[in-house]
Amino acid sequence: MKSLDRITIDPAVMGGRACVRGMRVTVGTVVGLLASGQTPEQVLDAYPYLEPEDISQSLAYAAWRLEEREVSLVSR
């Protein structure tokens, strides 16, 4: 898997949600905008401090998280 060095998780920023480069822009915001039909160019226009690689890594991170599976451990 390629590096996700632009995706940060800090409990002090946005409640610990995955963000882009420590900014207050969450991966969920980026992916949500794309899912609602905005183009990457429109997202970059709306958030001029983002870069194309931020969008790519946000999508890669979201895809990676969807493949994760949490299993509850039950003690008997």
Which pLDDT value is given to residue 67?
87
Q: Return d(Cα 17, Cα 25) in angstroms, integer.
A: 10
What pTM did the predictor assign? 0.85
How high is the mean pLDDT of the chain?
Answer: 93
Q: Which domains does the chain have, with CATH numbers?
A: 7-67 (1.10.10.10)
Q: Above 90 in pLDDT, residue 26?
A: yes
Which pLDDT value is given to residue 76?
66
pLDDT tens digits, residue range 30-64? 999 999 999 999 999 999 999 999 999 999 999 99
* Residue linked to tokens 């998780």: 9
Q: Return d(Cα 60, Cα 41) in angstroms, integer.
A: 18
Taking the CA atoms of residue 59, residue 61, residue 64 and residue 68 in that order, the dihedral angle to the nearest 10 degrees is -130
